Structure 1
């Protein structure tokens, strides 16, 4: 990425150059985030949410004070299904409302179909985000667990009338699950599922006549997708007991 965070001091604590761990929050922390927001404008923000979904006060601070600072520039989200449920209480379509969001490191299950933004269907909301074209040609990427649902994704692809690009990386231990390739002549795309290496499978939706060099690099990026290697990160991982005076 183009920028790395400088080393800052907040309440006497020193943070690394590429990561801001928000494991305590008060007005000083919020003001600090507001000041460094410009560093993320061109390169995007990587956001990890580790706050437990039962921490009501913490989530209210995330909703009011933190999420508005990152939503316009978030490019990668790392979280679990239960935390995504809580995040979507802000807005059921919150994933699709993040125009720059390209990848989700999702500690949850395979996207579910039909793709919907219903309030209680986060796996379906992930599918809705996945099947919403970005408009810039870059593929969306997901790392998740596989729990079934491939037939629903196949049907959605075959019946699609708009083109879309994505790469899903997951690990699966199923000897009965083999590679396949489907085509959609209406959108000019193919959907391929193959083993990339011993531990990883890739599900790729791409143009039938794709640019191989670009897609080879994107697939490599998806395989190597690792939250802890990312720059420009904000780790949101505080609980109600970590909230300073005057915040609630």
Structure 2
């Protein structure tokens, strides 16, 4: 799927939360002509908010998550400027994710990236990926983490819902 304007996320300066179904940030981060939804999403995610708070992304119905996580880890390791975000990965019934929690530090940006399991309800595996300052204040981050787990506050604006429909042969 191609966006009519891949830069749509960048043009929504106050967009804070995105809820995605079957879409995940893809490398390379790009929102120019011909960019995929995943590339534009990655560009949005890696563009810091003006207020410094973390962006929030909730993803459901994902496949090939291992490759996507490796891409995010590589982007983090090679980053030269900081950005903060929280991604909640909600794996559906019947999907088994065999990954392991991790924690990485980037000395150049003074950031930490963590990936941890947060709950298991009715065969749903929920994991949280968090990128932010090494000395983050847990109380500040807890609000963003809760929003990511809920999929954003449905009553608030400044959020977007994506559902990429794939063609079936």
TM-score normalised by structure 1 residue count: 0.55
Return closer, same or farther for 1:175/1:190 CA change in 2, 3 Å cut-off. same
CA-based RMSD: 2.1
- State yes or no: 1:138 paired with 2:53: yes
Q: CA deviation at 1:213?
A: 0.8
Residue 102 (structure 1) aligned with residue 32 (structure 2): no
Tell me, yes or no, if structure 1 residue 174 matches structure 2 residue 96. yes
**3-state DSSP of counterpart to 1:123:** helix
Rounded Cα–Cα distance in structure 2 between residues aligned with 1:232 and 1:100:
9
1:153 to 1:195, Cα distance in 2 relative to 1, 3 A: same
5+ residue gaps in structure 2? 159-169
1:185 and 2:107 matched: yes
Q: Deviations over 1:173-193 (max 9, x none)?
A: 435211001111111100100
Deviations 1:86-137 (A, max 9, x none): xx31x22111111101111112322111111142411111001100111211
Between Structure 1 and Structure 2, the one with more helix by share is 1
Q: Number of residues paired by the alignment?
A: 147
CA distance in 1, matches of 2:97, 2:19: 25
Post-superposition Cα deviations, 1:64-84, rounded to whole Å, max 9, x if no partner, equal: xxxxxxxxxxxxxxxxxx5xx
Report the counterpart of residue 221 of structure 1 in structure 2.
147
Gaps of 5+ in 1: 1-81, 234-248
Q: Which of 148, 155, 159 is matched with 1:230 structurally? A: 155
Shift, 1:231, TM fit: 4.3
Q: Which has the larger radius of gyration?
A: 1
Cα distance in structure 2, aligned partners of 1:200 and 1:232: 25
